[in-house]
């Protein structure tokens, strides 16, 4: 039986995900010329909420939402996945849906960016009810009201 949990992010989760990032995420960090561990730690520290998706003791994803303050009506969503995501797709989807249900009532708009080359991620976002703008590079996605009002 698979044991899947959604837990607060621990610094060790950051190190583990950096060692097991999917190739496309690792390439994105390389294109930026930044240290993934430092960038992820910054995202976690500046997030309103953040979680680690852990399946059978292995970190398969880290994600969270960032906002301008406790009364903000918009939140920026971010998510990183490890190669192990392919081994537990159902657990991953359930965990993300659980996190999304925690966040939806709090914000009028949840938005983010997705690389246009990540076709599966775009289909998954649309399946979850997000609107994804067309484009050739970073594509804006959102749930709720458009952040471009």
Which domain, by its residues, includes 36? 4-109
Q: Is residue 143 part of a domain?
A: no
Kindly state whether residue 129 falls inside one of the protein's structural domains. Answer: no
The pTM score is 0.88
Assess if residue 133 is contained within a domain: no
CATH number, position 27: 3.40.630.30
DSSP 25-64: HHHHHHHHT--HHHHHHHHHHT-SEEEEEEETTEEEEEEE
Q: Is residue 117 part of a domain?
A: no
Q: Is residue 139 part of a domain?
A: no
- Asked if residue 51 is part of any domain, the answer here is yes
pLDDT in tens, 89-137: 888 888 888 888 889 999 999 999 999 988 988 998 999 999 999 988 8
Structural domains counted in the chain:
1
Residue 148 resides in a domain: no
R_g (Cα) of the chain, nearest Å: 15
Average pLDDT over every residue of 5-17: 95
Strands (E), the chain: 4-7, 49-55, 58-66, 74-81, 109-115, 131-132, 138-144
Token pair 């998510």: residue: 79
Q: pLDDT per residue over 41-69, tens digit each?
A: 999 999 999 999 999 999 999 999 999 99
Q: Determine, yes or no, domain membership for 140.
A: no
pLDDT at 25: 87
For residues 82-88, average pLDDT: 86
CA distance 24 to 30: 10
């Amino acid at each position: 039986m698979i044991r899947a949990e959604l837990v607060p992010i621990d610094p060790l989760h950051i190190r583990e995900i950096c060692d097991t990032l999917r190739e496309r995420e690792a390439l994105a960090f390389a294109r930026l010329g930044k240290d993934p561990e430092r960038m992820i730690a910054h995202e976690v520290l500046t997030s309103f909420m953040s979680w680690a998706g852990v399946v059978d003791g292995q970190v398969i994803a880290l994600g969270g939402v960032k906002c301008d303050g406790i009364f903000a009506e918009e939140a920026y969503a971010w998510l990183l996945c490890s190669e192990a995501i392919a081994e537990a797709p159902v657990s991953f989807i359930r965990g993300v849906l659980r996190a999304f249900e925690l966040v939806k009532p709090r914000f009028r708009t949840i938005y983010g960016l997705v690389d246009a080359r990540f076709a599966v991620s775009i289909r998954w976002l649309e399946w979850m009810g997000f609107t994804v703008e067309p484009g050739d590079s970073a594509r804006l996605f959102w749930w709720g009201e458009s952040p471009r009002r």
